[in-house]
Structure 1
Amino acid sequence: MKLCEIGVTGQKIDVFNGGDVPPDGRLLSVAELQQAYRGLLQNLRARPAGSASAEPVPIAPVGGGAVATINLEETAIGSAEASADIDADWITIMAAHAGAGASTVALAVADAAAAAGAVHLVETAHPARSGLVAASRSELGMDSSGAWRRGLRGNVTIDRRAGDRTPDGWPADRAAAVATVVDLGLPSVDNLARLVTSAARCVVVCRANVPGVRLVEQTLDALEEVPVAVAVLGAKRWPGEVTASLGPRLRRLRAAGHVVTVPLDRRIEVTGPTHSPLPKAVFMAGRSLLGLIDAARSGEVTTTVHAPGTKGTTR
């Protein structure tokens, strides 16, 4: 078969030699893809408001074939069980958008806190999306619940989800720690309310680009009065387009010194976080964030994001 022939509507493809086609062995036309998409939207609109059903939702038949399904499982905040509360003393790290670098920031904060003693770092992402899969120096197996896979990195104990099933709670058999850092990844908007209720200290992570600062502004709006700092991955000097795109909340946090730049590292960009020590510049950014977090807890500095028109104090 010639390459120029691939893509003809209704054409049969040999799936054993690299073809990527639906079960009936033919390519989908644009009209059929649009039909499937419209069917998905109809099913989404038909769901009751606030529905959190994890059952697969049927999509309209494609080209007369069998009904396809897509899993719309709604994960609780950080993919942990909805009944598992977040402790107010924990440090939560969340991404404002996909690919922000929350796992790297969470590891930097945990490593910085480990200078004072044992630290517990929990990553709540699905195993297929783990950013800390290679961050442990040694693997310790499962916790007693069997839902979390445990590793060790110096003074930092790392727990990651072990399977597809959503855990029923936080990792078991946790030893006493001077700090607990939770990498929430990219939580849904609905679940940000749980973080607000918990009053846990929070670091929001974004990239130093126009989409990044615009999306972090939306996250800050949802977090309301949560003590917060912002970690921005990129160069210390932001391009003019990025500075011009800052929203009022991020602008106030930056003016108050609550925005920390985390420099991009070429090695981490290629390998992701590994068991090796973090580059010094990244580690120092984690220590700066930890300083802001500790100051917020002790009341030395107010990191609350105040709504426009309200008064806030910063010491």
Structure 2
Amino acid sequence: MVATVVADVLQIAKRSVLMVDTADPTRSGLGQAARSEGPYVPGPHPAVAIRFSWRAQALLARVETTLPVLAPGMVPPPRFWSPHPRHLDATVVDIGHDPWRVAAHPLAGAGAWLRRGTPAPRPVLVVRPSIPSLARAEQVLARLEYWSNLGATVMPVALIVVGAKRWPSTVAGSAGRRVQALLPGAVFVPHDPDVAVCGVTAEVTPSRLRAAVIPLLRHWGVVPVTKPSQSRSGLFGRARGKGGAADVARAPDRGLSGPATATTGTTAADRNP
């Protein structure tokens, strides 16, 4: 969900966006994110392909397979997701696999989006506001830290908390040292009943969810400081929602076009199917 919110903010701000969903198709949360399916291109294995569709003005790329199970290491590497000759301002990736497994060897498959490069990826760790979720997040960070110390990958640079406006009592105090380093800049994406019931659909994500991630994207310089016009949600037709952005990264030097405006997806430590 966070990857979709981030992508919607970017395209409403008139950025050219590629959304990448590396999840096993049966586990993907973005199966209904586009109004219609587009063409597909073959992947590195004859049983694996990439389907391109449109989510308003954002290009949505999802992995497809005829295999009964798609392990993280079997996901096509970043160069296969290139939508040449389309210019891109940002690529938002939802790694979509068990982050514990991805972090075990993040140099191939879905984890390849975490590799160092130019422009540098900006991974975001997505958690729920609970003690078990922060414990799992600490475990994922501990695994990724090994690869980061080798100079192979980039550690998450931000923490996004979904389903809350603030930390419940005692939760933040339970964080391990690696998660604690991310707590001061934590971004809270509030609960939305429509998204909770329907999931991500082809409609624009609710404005209050988008408003939650805008300060982070402004800090990174990928959206303007001035507030984007909410009327841009007309890109989606009828606007959805009420109110008032794992896995991630821009693919540096891996065959994707566009300038160095890397942005985020989700590395969920506590993921809903």
* Same structural fold, with TM-score higher than 0.5 when normalized by the shorter chain: yes
Q: Within 5 A, what are the aligned runs for 1:152-171?
A: 152-165=54-67, 166=74, 168-169=76-77, 170-171=80-81
Using a 3 Å threshold, how does the CA distance of structure 1 residues 168 and 203 change in structure 2: closer, same or farther?
Answer: closer
* Identity percentage of aligned residues: 37
Determine helix, strand or coil for the equivalent of 1:287: helix
Aligned to 2:211: 284
User: Is the aligned partner of 1:148 residue 2:50?
Assistant: yes
Q: Within 5 A, what are the aligned runs for 1:178-217?
A: 178-185=89-96, 186-187=98-99, 188=101, 189-192=103-106, 195-198=114-117, 199-217=120-138
Unaligned 5+ segments in structure 1 are 1-103, 298-315
Using a 3 Å threshold, how does the CA distance of structure 1 residues 201 and 242 change in structure 2: closer, same or farther?
Answer: same
Using a 3 Å threshold, how does the CA distance of structure 1 residues 192 and 172 change in structure 2: closer, same or farther?
Answer: closer
User: Is the aligned partner of 1:112 residue 2:41?
Assistant: no
Using a 3 Å threshold, how does the CA distance of structure 1 residues 282 and 200 change in structure 2: closer, same or farther?
Answer: same
Rounded to whole Å, the distance in 1 between the matches of 2:91 and 2:174 is: 33
Rounded to whole Å, the distance in 2 between the matches of 1:168 and 1:105 is: 22
Determine helix, strand or coil for the equivalent of 1:217: helix
Q: Which moved more, 1:200-209 or 1:237-246?
A: 237-246
Maintained 8 Å contact 1:108/1:283: yes
Can you list the C-alpha shifts for 1:56-77, whole angstroms capped at 9, x where unaligned? xxxxxxxxxxxxxxxxxxxxxx
Using a 3 Å threshold, how does the CA distance of structure 1 residues 167 and 247 change in structure 2: closer, same or farther?
Answer: closer
Can you list the C-alpha shifts for 1:153-208, whole angstroms capped at 9, x where unaligned? 12211011121454544235342111011111233231236525455210111111
Aligned to 1:236: 165
Rounded to whole Å, the distance in 2 between the matches of 1:239 and 1:167 is: 36
Rounded to whole Å, the distance in 2 between the matches of 1:110 and 1:161 is: 18
Deviation at 1:284, TM superposition (A): 1.5
Using a 3 Å threshold, how does the CA distance of structure 1 residues 250 and 168 change in structure 2: closer, same or farther?
Answer: closer
TM superposition score normalised by structure 1: 0.55
Maintained 8 Å contact 2:104/2:143: no
Root-mean-square deviation over aligned CA pairs = 2.5
Aligned to 1:222: 143
User: Is the aligned partner of 1:121 residue 2:2?
Assistant: no
Q: Which moved more, 1:131-140 or 1:196-205?
A: 196-205
Determine helix, strand or coil for the equivalent of 2:65: coil
Rounded to whole Å, the distance in 2 between the matches of 1:230 and 1:176 is: 29
Larger radius of gyration: 1
Can you list the C-alpha shifts for 1:71-91, whole angstroms capped at 9, x where unaligned? xxxxxxxxxxxxxxxxxxxxx
Amino acid at match of 2:195: I
Deviation at 1:121, TM superposition (A): 0.5
Using a 3 Å threshold, how does the CA distance of structure 1 residues 227 and 162 change in structure 2: closer, same or farther?
Answer: closer
Which residue, 32, 38, 53 being the options, matches 1:134?
32
Amino acid at match of 1:269: A
Q: Which has the higher contact order (CA 8 A, sep 6+)?
A: 2
Using a 3 Å threshold, how does the CA distance of structure 1 residues 280 and 160 change in structure 2: closer, same or farther?
Answer: same
Q: Within 5 A, what are the aligned runs for 1:23-38?
A: none
Deviation at 1:245, TM superposition (A): 0.9
Maintained 8 Å contact 2:189/2:212: yes
Can you list the C-alpha shifts for 1:220-272, whole angstroms capped at 9, x where unaligned? 233335351111112222221312212223223222x2x10111111111111
Rounded to whole Å, the distance in 1 between the matches of 2:178 and 2:28 is: 30
Amino acid at match of 1:162: E
